[in-house]
Amino acid sequence: MSAAVAVADIDPAGDRPHAIHATAVLLGEAGIVIRGRSGAGKSSLALALLELARTQGLFARLIGDDRVLVTGVNGRLMVEAHPAIAGKIERRGLGIVDLPHEGRAVVRLIVDLLDAETCGIPPRLPEAAERTAAIEATQVRRVALRAGASAVELAAQILFELPTGQADA
């Protein structure tokens, strides 16, 4: 999923929440938005992130799965649970389950799960434009990862990608 596709339905003025197809979690004080096509592994990655963060002693909560609301507020990107599905996440093979959740967070990282042909081999030194995403007129750090890779391995990489101190709350 390219950043241009993901933000096509978002209000450029950023003055009201817009639903996007994504999953979001809160680790410490860092909101993480996971984007990708249906079946890319967003929910599995979110569950792996929550578990890995907890094993490292970090505060970890679901914000929302499948559809979340984003809003630009005072130069920050906010993400919140869609009220119709707040606290619910799909656990493959079990169906929809309830989890403890937070209602809202400041987004510190965007994770794009891309298909192998789109993602390719990540460059050793990605261009600056590839390391950020513009959503709601706000620049947010971004990382592109390969959909279908081990959720646990991706979760470890995401924890590594968080800006220093962002997951330490």
- Each domain of the chain, given as residue ranges in start order, spans 3-150
- What pTM, to 2 d.p., does this model score? 0.82
Q: What is the dihedral of CA 83, 86, 91, 96, to 10 degrees?
A: -60
DSSP H/E element including 11: none
- CATH class, range 3-150: alpha beta
pLDDT of 94 reads: 86
pLDDT of 1 reads: 35
Q: Give the pair of three-digit tokens for residue 25.
A: 């979690």
pLDDT of 122 reads: 55
Per DSSP (E only), the strands in the chain are 18-27, 30-36, 60-64, 67-73, 76-81, 88-91, 95-98, 104-114, 132-135, 138-146
CA distance 122 to 164: 22
Task: Per-residue pLDDT tens, the chain, 169 aa: give them.
Answer: 333 334 334 444 546 788 999 999 999 999 999 999 988 999 999 999 999 999 999 999 999 999 999 999 988 999 999 999 999 999 888 889 999 999 999 999 999 998 866 655 555 556 666 777 878 878 889 988 888 888 999 999 898 887 655 554 4
pLDDT of 53 reads: 93
- Of 154, 57, 64, 49, the C-alpha closest to 100 is 64
pLDDT of 34 reads: 96
